[in-house]
């Protein structure tokens, strides 16, 4: 079992480590909440500033993509939501979650050799380390995105639900060393601020390029279960709306907008960088 973890993510634990200019400068801390995304959404509806962060030590109803639950035991991991008010058309909003995947992967690579699985799961050695749930709400000047990020930091193998043991992992399981959670939080916020500012000022190009490098997927043959059937092809890149571009055996191009991706021959491993 996991040894007792004594660090906490209270404002007084995190503030001295923050290097960001604007992200996380409004910081809401909860011992326990249903979902940090729900808490952040409520704050955003009440007008909370861009860059407001909600962190919880535990979630009772943590939410994942596709209506799944996100297992959120107390004091082990990171459950983080960020309020963003991006100047990006709603049809291109998936650029924000891809940007978050890039930033989260960069933070994780300071600890272990992480890669991105399309669209934005973070894996190590083929197992999931982190997930991102971006939710768009409101309209016009009241429109906002809540970017929810869950990272398995200090869960031990025995802490993972049995059905997730061959699919999920944590940084501690991968490296054998506990993660200093306040330090990890400060690092992920720093990467997020840099990449979000880049997206707003330079557009999606540099993010798509970093995504290509961090996903190690470009040039790989993948199989995708689409609602209309199975498709396989070689990954050639990302479109501006976040769709994955494939070259099919026929030579035609095909766009994947949703689905579960399997890399033929297994997910590529990368070296620590
Ligand atoms: C996924 O399915 O991969 C996305 C998981 C996102 C989980 C995080 S934990 C913090 C935030 N609050 C939630 O309820 N979900 C996100």
Please report whether residue 246 resides in a domain: yes
Residues 173 and 246 grouped into a single domain? no
* Ligand 1 lined by 267 (C-beta under 6 Å): no
Domain shared by 207 and 93, yes or no? yes
| Residue 68 belongs to a domain | yes
Flag whether 272 is in a domain. no
Taken in order 3, 31, 70, 16, is the CA torsion positive or negative?
A: negative
What is the number of the ligand 1 atom nearest to the C-alpha of 37? 12
Q: What is the pLDDT of residues 12-61, one digit of tens each?
A: 999 999 999 999 999 999 999 999 999 999 999 999 999 999 999 999 99
Task: Residue 256: give its domain's CATH number.
Answer: 2.30.30.100
**Whole-angstrom distance, CA of residue 215 vs CA of residue 105:** 9
Query: How far is ligand 1, taken at its centre, from the CA of residue 80, in Å?
Result: 8
Q: Are residues 115 and 142 in the same domain?
A: yes
- Same domain for 145 and 22? yes
According to DSSP, the β-strands at 115-117 and 121-124 are antiparallel
Same domain assignment for residues 203 and 253: no
Verify that 77 and 103 share a domain, yes or no: yes
Please check whether residue 270 lies inside any domain of the structure: no
User: Tokens 């939710």 identify what position?
Assistant: 135
- Tell me how many domains the chain contains: 2
Residue 4 lies in a domain: no
Pocket perturbation via mutation, ligand 1, pick of 37, 116, 129 by most ligand atoms within 8 A of CB: 37
Distance 253 CA to ligand 1 centre (A): 32
Counting ligand 1 atoms within 8 A of each CB, the residue from 33, 44, 133 with the most, and so the one to mutate, is 133
Q: From ligand 1's centre to the CA of 165, what distance in Å?
A: 18
User: Are 152 and 21 in the same domain?
Assistant: yes
CA dihedral (23, 10, 57, 122) in degrees, to 10, reads 40
Please report whether residue 269 resides in a domain: no
Mutate to test the pocket of ligand 1, among 62, 118, 167 (most ligand atoms within 8 A of CB): 62
- Ligand 1 centroid–CA 234 distance in Å is 29
Would residue 1 count as lying in a domain?
A: no
Residues 23, 156, single domain; the answer is yes
Residue 157 inside a domain? The answer is: yes
Residues 20, 128 within the same domain: yes
30 lines ligand 1 (CB under 6 A): no
* CATH, residue 47: 3.30.930.10
Same domain, 210 and 227: no
Nearest to 258 by CA among 247, 273, 242: 242
186 and 76 housed in the same domain: yes
CB 79 within 8 A of CB 110: no
What pLDDT, in 10s, does the model give residues 69-100?
999 999 999 999 999 999 999 889 999 999 99
Q: Is the CB of 117 under 6 A from ligand 1?
A: no
Q: Is the pLDDT assigned to residue 273 strictly greater than 80?
A: no
Verify that 159 and 247 share a domain, yes or no: no
Average pLDDT of span 262-268: 76
The parent domain of residue 244 ranges over 221-263
Task: Note the pLDDT tens digit of each residue in 106-142.
Answer: 999 999 999 998 888 999 988 999 999 999 999 998 9
């Amino acid at each position: 079992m996991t040894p007792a973890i004594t660090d906490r993510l209270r404002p007084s634990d995190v503030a001295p480590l923050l290097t960001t200019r604007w992200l996380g400068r409004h910081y809401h801390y909860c011992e326990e909440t249903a979902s940090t995304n729900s808490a952040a959404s409520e704050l955003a509806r009440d007008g909370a500033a861009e860059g407001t962060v909600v962190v919880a030590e535990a979630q009772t109803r943590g939410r994942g993509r596709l209506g799944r639950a996100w297992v959120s035991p107390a004091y082990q991991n990171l459950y983080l939501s960020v309020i963003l008010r991006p100047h990006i058309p709603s049809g291109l909003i998936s650029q924000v979650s891809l940007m978050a995947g890039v930033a989260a992967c960069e933070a994780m690579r300071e600890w272990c050799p992480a890669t991105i699985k399309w669209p934005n799961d973070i894996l190590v050695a083929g197992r999931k380390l982190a997930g991102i749930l971006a939710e768009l709400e409101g309209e016009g000047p009241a429109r906002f995105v809540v970017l929810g990020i869950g990272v398995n930091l200090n869960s031990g193998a025995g802490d993972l639900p049995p059905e997730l043991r061959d699919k999920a992992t944590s940084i501690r399981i991968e490296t054998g060393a506990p993660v200093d959670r306040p330090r990890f939080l400060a690092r992920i916020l720093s990467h997020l601020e840099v990449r979000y500012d880049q997206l707003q000022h330079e557009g999606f190009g540099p993010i798509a390029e970093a995504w290509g490098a961090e996903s190690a997927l470009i040039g790989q043959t993948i199989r995708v279960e689409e609602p209309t059937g199975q498709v396989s092809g070689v990954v050639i890149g990302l479109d501006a709306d976040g769709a994955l571009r494939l070259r099919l055996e026929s030579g035609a191009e095909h766009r994947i907008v949703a689905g579960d991706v399997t890399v033929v021959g297994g997910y590529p491993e990368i070296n620590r960088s």
